Amino acid sequence: MSDFEPFYDVNRTYEDNYAQGPFGAFAQALAEDGAASAASADSASAAAQTETFLGQPVNLAFGIPAGPLLNSRYTTAAFRMGFDLATYKTVRSRAWGCNPFPNVLAVHPKSADGSLTPGSAELDEGVLADTNYDLPISISNSFGVPSQDPDVWQPDMKAAIAAAGPGQVLVPSFQGSRVEGMSEDDYIADHATTARLIKETGAKLMVMNTSCPNEGHNRLLCHNPLLVGRITEAVKQAIGDTPLMIKLAYIPSDDDLELMVRSTVGRGTVQGFSTINTISARLVDKDGNQALPGAGRDRSGVCGNAIRGAGLDMVARLAAIREKTGLDFAINGVGGVVSPADYAAYKKAGADSVMSATGAMWDAELAHKIKVSL
Ligand SMILES: Cc1cc2nc3c(=O)[nH]c(=O)nc-3n(C[C@H](O)[C@H](O)[C@H](O)COP(=O)(O)O)c2cc1C
């Protein structure tokens, strides 16, 4: 692995990645003259805008979810590398700091295929985490959803949108921020404010993240479907007919998942779900000690190869709820896509579109490989 350089460099701080990245093949794609037209020609020949993503025509509804694409340089490089959906990392209504370095570690579940099952004892007992980035890749990420001030991200998001080639779509991601002294109404209003700020950039659609621990330690907003319902009503008032997708973590209960669908899609406020986000695990080093330094970092979210089974399960259950309720919504499948076969498995499970964060970080050619496989 020594000659390989992921476009987000896990050995540098988030701030250095933001200022200096992307690296590796993505840096080359940005530097090369004519790379954009070459990439869009490549995309167009693979599937000339035959698919849609929340109503927008796309070459192939495959791309990168919120996370490793920190700003317009990253999203533009992703477009040039043939990822037709590029998600701009989650933004907030205000500047927000990043967790201390390191923010990424490799994780090594015990099972032979490297998978982690939601609810399994291993998640609480401890999963080995270190800097041995073996393939197929599983990692943990611990950033705390940092954000620039809107005065910085709004013009940059505008530039990101403008850099999309034919059949490519920039997908903005946002979330609410809970700060000391905020009432529930303030918290709801913060989501609506952020959505409005995104709409001002000219975005044609957006994804609202409800699946990071933003409700206090390890409590996720998506585990409270009724609150998500109230928030999406406020967001809908702010953005009108702009399509809204909700990012969900793994939700074990079918009843809770159906309540989420009915509280959002059922009320006309949401047009799709993107799932899954990371799965929380206790991370330990080889001596059994806490792997990530600092208070509140005993647990962290795992992504990549380890969580593909859980992601496929969520997508299949959402597709079954879509069938059962007759409600119309899009499903964006995420979690552990590291190969063309994984992309195909998500499509078979009922996903309308598919994205890869960890898999794309460790294989900048993933979109090209999937297009060639079709
Ligand atoms: C480096 C990194 C940063 C991430 N940051 C965010 C984020 O800001 N917002 C979000 O909704 N998800 C974030 N995610 C989660 C991904 O969008 C995705 O749901 C998760 O990683 C599972 O997909 P994967 O197995 O392809 O990585 C991040 C993931 C990674 C790897």
Q: Which atom of ligand 1 is nearest to the CA of 337?
A: 26
Can you tell me the mean pLDDT for 28-53? Answer: 68
CA atoms within 13 A on the CB side of 363: 21
Contact at 8 Å (CB) between 1 and 361? no
Distance (Å) of CA 180 to CA 102, 149, 175, 296: 26, 19, 17, 17
Q: Is the CB of 334 under 6 A from ligand 1?
A: yes
Q: What is the pLDDT of residues 65-99, one digit of tens each?
A: 999 999 999 999 999 999 999 999 999 999 999 99
pLDDT level of residue 2 (50, 70, 90 thresholds): very low
What is the whole-number distance in angstroms between the Cα of residue 357 and the centre of ligand 1? 6
Q: Round to whole Å and give the CA distance between 58 and 282.
A: 39
H/E stretch holding 290:
none
**If you measure from the C-alpha of residue 33 to the centroid of ligand 1, how many angstroms do you get, rounded to a whole number?**
30
**Among candidates 253, 249, 257, which has minimal Cα distance to 225?**
257
Shortest-distance Cα residue to atom 4 of ligand 1: 67
Q: Which two tokens stand for residue 316?
A: 């299949």
Give CA torsion, residues 224, 230, 236, 238, to 10 deg. -110
CB 76 within 8 A of CB 163: yes
Q: Which amino acid is at 168?
A: Q
Q: What is the pLDDT of residue 32?
A: 87
* Ligand 1 within 6 A of CB of 303: yes
CA of 278 to the centre of ligand 1 (A): 7
Q: Whose CA is nearest to atom 28 of ligand 1?
A: 67
Ligand 1 touching residue 275 (CB < 6 A): no
Beta-strand pair 330-334/272-275:
parallel
Phi–psi pair at 346, nearest 5 degrees? -65, -40
Q: Report, in angstroms and rounded to the nearest whole number, the Rg of the chain calculated over CA atoms.
A: 19
Residue nearest to atom 14 of ligand 1 (CA): 67
- In angstroms, rounded to a whole number, what is the distance separating the alpha carbons of residues 30 and 17? 15
Q: How far is the CA of 44 from the centre of ligand 1 (A)?
A: 27
Q: Is the CB of residue 274 below 6 angstroms from any atom belonging to ligand 1?
A: no
116 lines ligand 1 (CB under 6 A): no
Q: Is 327 helix (H, G, I), strand (E, B) or coil?
A: coil
The token pair that represents 198 in the structure block: 């995104």
Of residues 213 and 288, more confidently modeled: 288
Are the CB atoms for 251 and 257 separated by under 8 Å?
yes
Pocket test for ligand 1, best of 74, 142, 277 (most atoms within 8 A of CB): 277
Give the number of other Cβ atoms within 10 Å of residue 188's Cβ: 19
**Each residue of 242-272: pLDDT tens digit?**
999 999 999 999 999 999 999 999 999 999 9
For residue 356, give the ligand 1 atom closest to its CA. Answer: 26
Q: What is the pLDDT of residue 37?
A: 52
Only one residue has tokens 């799709």, namely 272
Give the pLDDT score at 50: 86
Q: Given phi > 0 = left and psi -120 to 50 = alpha, else beta, which region is 145? A: left
Q: What is the pLDDT of residues 164-212, one digit of tens each?
A: 999 999 999 999 999 999 999 999 999 999 999 999 999 999 999 999 8
Query: Which residue's CA is the nearest one to ligand 1's atom 6?
Result: 67
Report the candidate in 230, 247, 83 with the shortest Cα–Cα distance to residue 165. Answer: 83
d(CA 332, CA 350): 9
Which whole-number Å values give the CA distances from 36 to 171, 201, 202, in the listed order? 18, 22, 21
Q: Which long-range contacts (C-beta less than 8 Å, at least 24 apart) are formed by 110-113?
A: none
Distance from C-alpha of 323 to C-alpha of 152, rounded to nearest angstrom: 42
Q: Tell me the per-residue pLDDT of 209-240, one tens digit each, with 9 for 90 and over.
A: 999 866 655 679 999 999 999 999 999 999 99
Instruction: Judge whether 345 and 278 are in contact, CB under 8 Å.
Output: no
Please give the mean pLDDT across all residues of the chain: 94
Q: What is the 3-state secondary structure (H, E, C) of 123-162?
A: HHHCEEEECCCCCCCEEEECCCCCECCHHHHHHHHHHHHH
